């Protein structure tokens, strides 16, 4: 009974006390956004710039490195950036459409730009920018449809790889190579049969 009677008085007291308590609170600290990191221009020349180090980009990077081709990777995900640096692969952290980033990757002195990111919108902006800086660079991009292929060609891509088409080409190519191998293996047998028929005459 006492607590029931005391509750209204307590809440009234707290309502009057709250404004005073808020005035006594220290001012909240304003968090400042982190300062952008200074982009250092690479010393690489005649290199390949690879944008995106996912499932596609990682395969491209590994193949180029194994064959001695200098490659610089542009990647947003920090954990991948850290891994690449630990493996001695030059990488710039950030989005390729970020101001000044392609210049830091020395797109003007690069031989190839390989865009392995799946977004056609980001790809088109990237391709257009790179082509404006370096008209001689060869630009290779990925696409998922014929419409994307046409879109990226319009912005200056030289070679566009569409995943489904390349898979189909690989499957059909394997079958055709098997047929060609079988025909080569059967050719000596056929020629031997013809010779045996001539000898029997």
pLDDT tier at 192, thresholds 50, 70, 90: low
| Range with the largest mean pLDDT of 21-25, 184-188, 189-193 | 184-188
User: pLDDT of 79-135, one tens digit each?
Assistant: 999 999 999 999 999 998 898 999 999 999 999 999 999 888 899 999 999 999 999
Write the DSSP string, 156-178.
Answer: T-SEEEEHHHHHHHHHHHHHHHH
pLDDT tier at 164, thresholds 50, 70, 90: confident
User: pLDDT of 39-64, one tens digit each?
Assistant: 889 999 999 999 999 999 999 999 99
Q: What is the mean pLDDT of residues 64-81?
A: 94
Phi/psi at 30 (5° precision): -85, 120
pLDDT tier at 33, thresholds 50, 70, 90: very low
> Where along the chain do its domains lie?
48-166
Class of domain 48-166: alpha beta
Phi/psi at 3 (5° precision): -65, -35
């Amino acid at each position: 009974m006492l607590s029931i009677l005391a509750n209204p008085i307590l809440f009234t007291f707290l309502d009057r006390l709250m404004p005073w308590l808020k005035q006594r609170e220290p001012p909240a600290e304003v968090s400042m956004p982190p300062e952008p990191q200074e982009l250092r221009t690479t010393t690489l020349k005649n290199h390949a710039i690879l944008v995106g180090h996912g499932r596609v980009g990682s395969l491209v990077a590994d193949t180029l490195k194994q064959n001695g081709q200098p490659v610089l990777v542009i990647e947003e995900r920090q954990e991948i950036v850290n891994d690449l640096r630990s493996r001695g692969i030059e990488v710039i952290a950030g989005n390729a459409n970020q101001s000044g980033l392609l210049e830091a990757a020395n797109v003007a002195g690069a031989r190839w730009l390989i865009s392995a990111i799946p977004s056609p919108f980001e790809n088109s902006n990237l391709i257009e920018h790179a082509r404006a800086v370096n008209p001689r660079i060869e630009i290779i991009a990925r696409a998922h449809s014929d419409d994307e292929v046409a879109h990226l060609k319009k912005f200056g891509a030289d070679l566009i790889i569409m995943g489904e088409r390349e898979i189909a080409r690989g499957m059909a190519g394997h079958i055709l190579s098997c047929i060609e191998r079988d025909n080569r293996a059967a050719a000596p047998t056929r020629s031997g049969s013809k010779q045996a028929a001539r000898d029997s005459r």
